[in-house]
Amino acid sequence: MNEDEPVLLHTEGHILHITLNRPRALNALTHTMVRCIDEALVRAAADDTVTAVVIGGAGGRGLCAGGDIRSIYEDARAGRSASVDFWRDEYRLNARIARFPKPYVALMDGIVMGGGVGVSAHGDVRVVTERSRVAMPETGIGFVPDVGGTHLLAAAPGELGTHLALTGRAVGAADAILCGLADHFVPSDHLTDLTTELAGSVTSAEVEETVRRYATTAPEGELAAQRTWIDGCYAADTVEEIIDRLSDSGLTAAKEAAATLLTVSPTALKVTLAAVRRAGRLGRLEAALDQEFRVSCRAFAGHDLVEGVRARIIDKDRTPRWSPAEVREVTAAEVARHFEPLGEQELGLAAS
């Protein structure tokens, strides 16, 4: 395997295989990788010999741990805007995946977080394994779920998506399927045989049938049994009330969720709640991506994203100094500012 190429492309039978190839970085996405995947999908859509695309990750530890957070940190600290350009192309890729005209099979084995969700969960055949850990953990670094994550989480049953968006909690295979982030469970030791057999699939129906033959019932998850308190607590209109309901519930799991919310960025919490609720009303993925681009640009120019990455990734002291430091100090005006139009800088996916 060529470690110098961050994305590997090869065709086996009728299948184009896209392999994210930065295993030492858990296949974290760079701008170059996003462009390479996008260009490959454009070619595959026009190539009659390609009947499906399969995306996976090198290294055996995960599909993709997200975007290259360290690069975003360095970009923001230096006052540059390369990250905005990266998000613009990344979100366009997310939309292309969702509208790809051929089966797009995502092997969501191992770690699948942030940008990894963006290159997998918008596909139409999404496979998880017993090793899958799927999450949108952005609030923990002072950011807000993006890559279409607010659209996906808004569509989850009840308030499960709100719970995952605010806490950044990682879920396993059964819970990923329950929340609409995945479709099929295939044991990890069957993935090689599955991909080999997919090479002979000529039609969309054959691709789906092949995956179904390898799929089985996922080990039991946790969220289904927690729906009552999750739906009751997260149905509140404000982050403050959500935290109060979780704290007062008397349930250990709910109190743990409340404790988590008290450690992450207050601004990110309030903007995330608003973003998920708004995405649910917007309906279309493209409109949600347009909204996420506005939010990401505003967060990039703010304090908490840089501070959150510093505390978790750079210095690793796990003691971020959020500003404001308390949820009650984040004003409605500050939340609303994140959603204001960007003028000529708009992503514009919904319009196109």
Catalytic residue positions? 67, 115, 138, 146
User: Sheet holding 111-113: strands in order across?
Assistant: 62-64, 111-113, 133-135
Instruction: Assess contact for 211 and 202: CB atoms under 8 A.
Output: no
Maximum Cα interatomic distance, the chain, rounded to a whole number of Å: 59
Angle between helices 82-98 and 285-300 (to 10 degrees): 170
Asked if residue 155 lies in contact with residue 310, where contact means CB atoms within 8 angstroms, the answer is no
52-57 vs 62-64, strand pairing mode = unpaired
Q: Give CA separation, 110 vs 83, 144, 204, in Å.
A: 26, 23, 26
* Paired sense of beta strands 7-12 and 15-20, if any: antiparallel
Token readout for 8 is 């590997």
182: helix, strand or coil: coil
Give start and end residues of each alpha helix (H) in the chain: 31-46, 69-77, 82-98, 115-118, 149-154, 160-167, 173-178, 191-198, 204-214, 223-234, 239-248, 252-261, 266-282, 285-300, 304-309, 332-337
Sign of torsion over alpha carbons 218, 221, 223, 228:
positive
Q: Which amino acid is at 299?
A: A
Q: Report how far residue 239's alpha carbon sits from residue 271's, in angstroms, rounded to the nearest whole number.
A: 10
> Distance between CA 343 and CA 5 in Å, rounded?
37
CB atoms within 10 A of CB 47: 13
Classified as helix, coil or strand, 127 is strand
- How many angstroms separate the CA atoms of 91 and 93, rounded? 5
